[in-house]
Every structure is written in structure tokens, then in C-alpha cells.
Chains A and B, each alone.
Chain A
Amino acid sequence: MKACICRPGLLAMVFALCHVAPALAGDAGVVKTLQGKVSVQRGNELLDAGLGMVVRTADRIVTGEKSAVGITLNDNTLLTAGPNAVLSLDRFKFDPKTEKGELEANVRRGSLSVISGKLAKSSPENVQFKTASVTLGVRGTEFIIEVADR
């Protein structure tokens, strides 16, 4: 059963008219902080990231110099990418009713700070962070992955 999400209508004043609509499948989180230049590769598109942008599964987040982006995922995981980073959110599913799902993120370049959310508590076997050389399992915690420039 889908949770109901209330989103501002397109033509409405931002908060005045809010209709209840189901969350879109594939939605993974929201951009909450942003500095400098941040882009999202989604399929064949390269989108400019902005505060409040919805991040989706399979998105690749790319930050420029002197840039950073903080994303809150739907299970309350907080992901923060630093400058010159490439982060791909390869898999994300979260059912708020059962609190089960999966998360796989790959740090291809740069630094990522993670504050884990409900998935690492309820489905830790389905949560993985990867770099080109290691795979990380997580049990409810905060950590940083820094991938060197090669």
C-alpha cells in the first residue's frame, strides 16, 4: 500500500494548495543542502541539482570544485558528497510501512559522509556502500568514505 504524499500543485502558491498523491516509484530522496555546482546524471539527461530536488534510484550525483551536496534519503539516511565527487545511487527501495528495502551506493570519486537510516537497522544485509576496491557493510552508524584521485 503506497503512503500518501502531499505535493504542492504546479500552478499553486507553494504551500497553499497541496494535493495528496502517491510517491513516485524510484524516488529515493531530496537535496537538502547545496553549495557550488552540483549535477545529476539521470539516464541520458544531465540536470542541474537544486535545493529540494528529488533524487531517484540510478541517479549519478556529480559535484564540481568547491561544491558539496547533502541528500536525505527516504529511510532517513543522510548522504553528503564533497567537492569533485561522483556518487551513484545504484539501488534504493524503502517501504515506510515495513521499513524494509535496499540501498547500494558507489563512491566513484571524492568524499562521502554517511549517517545511516532505517535500512541499516532493519535490512542491514541489503545495505552496501562500494568503491572501486572495497565493499562496506553498515550496522547503524556514521562514517566517511574518501576515494583518492587516481
Chain B
Amino acid sequence: MEFVSAVVVAIAGVLLAQQPEDRIVLLPAPDGSVGKVIVQGADGTKQLDTANAALTVDEKGNTRNYREGGPAIEARYGELLAAQPPRPRNYVLYFLSGGTDLAPESQAELEAIKRDVVARPIPEVRVVGYTDTVGTAEANDALSQKRAESVVEFLRNAGVKAKTFEAVGRGERQLSVSTRDDVAASENRRVEILIR
């Protein structure tokens, strides 16, 4: 009797092991940093927060933590990862006070932007203008929008060719250097160019 039940359990074990499982694998960023994935399954919530942490999900929605090895990730997902789009990249350009003359120290950055755009099959350019806290938030929204639009013009005249150009004014949001209201700070008056 015991032998029979042992065999039944073994067969059930083999059958269950062959049921297809879903997988979730957390990957480190190129700089090695790792974020977090919170997985809610039938058997509750689990978190992945270290490099190559993984879990399987069976067809009932039950999850089981494990760690995937580096070579196993490459073997299983290498082609998928090779098909990823190029990572977006941010650049910062500084202009001489008041106009659209590029500050001399930004010339090299402009050349880097041009090389980046040319290297992407479907380049998109988003120019984002920022201000310091001098003036009202609304006025700074409008000012940074105008500045972003004029930098889009500048980039196109400088020979940058992209599928789309987008101009966004973010005003006083995301100060580069934290200041109180109505404080002039040249580090905050900037234009960031996102290439993706």
C-alpha cells in the first residue's frame, strides 16, 4: 500500500513538474543598480529586489522564489534582450544669457547629441526647458516652453534630423539646485535634451 502511494506521489510530482510555469526575473541596470518588482499572485504578495532574483508562477497562480544565474539568463533571454530599443539618453545644453547662442562649453555636448541621433534608426528628440524660481510658476511654465521651442529650432538648424521633435516647458519643476521661491540660479535655468 505504501509502495503504491509512493509511486502515485512520484508520478503526480513528475506531472506537476511538467506543467508549464511563468517566470519573472529582476535584472540589474547597466550600472549595477536594482529596483523592485512586487508580485501579487494567488498565494499572496512577494517582492524581488536583488539582481537576478526571480520567481515562477504555476497555473494556479502560486509563486515560488528562486535566483536565476547570469549564464541562464543569457541563454534563455539573450535574444530578447538583444532586441531591446536603444536606451534613452539625456543631455544638457547651456545658452548665453537671454538668447539662443550656445554657451561655448556646450559645443562638445551639441556634437555628442548629433552623433547620438545619427546612431539611432528612429531618433526622437524631446527638448525640456527649465527655469529658476524667479517669477510665478505660470510665467515660468510659459518661459520654459518658449525656450524649449526655440532650442528645437536651434537643433534643427544645427543639422539634427529626427523622426519627431517635441518641446516641453517644465518651469520650476525639478530644480537642479534646490532654492527658495524667487531665487535666481543659473544652474536651474537650463535645457535638457532627451534622445530616444
Contact = CB atoms under 8 A, between A and B. Distances in A.
B116 interface: no
Interface in B55-98: 57, 59-61, 63, 76-77, 79-81, 83-88
Interface in A27-51: 30-33, 35, 51
A138 B35 contact: yes
Is chain B's binding surface mostly helix, strand, loop or mixed? mixed
A88 interface: no
Given A134-B40, A143-B37, A113 B77 contact: yes
Interface string B157-188: 00001011111111001000000000000000
A116 interface: yes
17 contacts: A1-B141, A5-B164, A6-B152, A30-B124, A30-B163, A78-B84, A97-B173, A98-B173, A113-B84, A136-B40, A139-B35, A141-B26, A141-B35, A141-B37, A142-B35, A143-B26, A144-B25
Contacts of A5: 164-166
B115 interface: no
Is chain A's binding surface mostly helix, strand, loop or mixed? strand
A147 interface: yes
A136 B38 contact: yes
Interface in A1-60: 1, 3-8, 15, 18, 20, 23, 30-33, 35, 51-52
B165 A141 contact: no
A55 to B, nearest CB: 12
Contacts of A78: 84-85, 87-88
A104 interface: no
Nearest to A121: B35
Given A72-B88, A76-B194, A133-B59, A145 B161 contact: no
A15 to B, nearest CB: 4
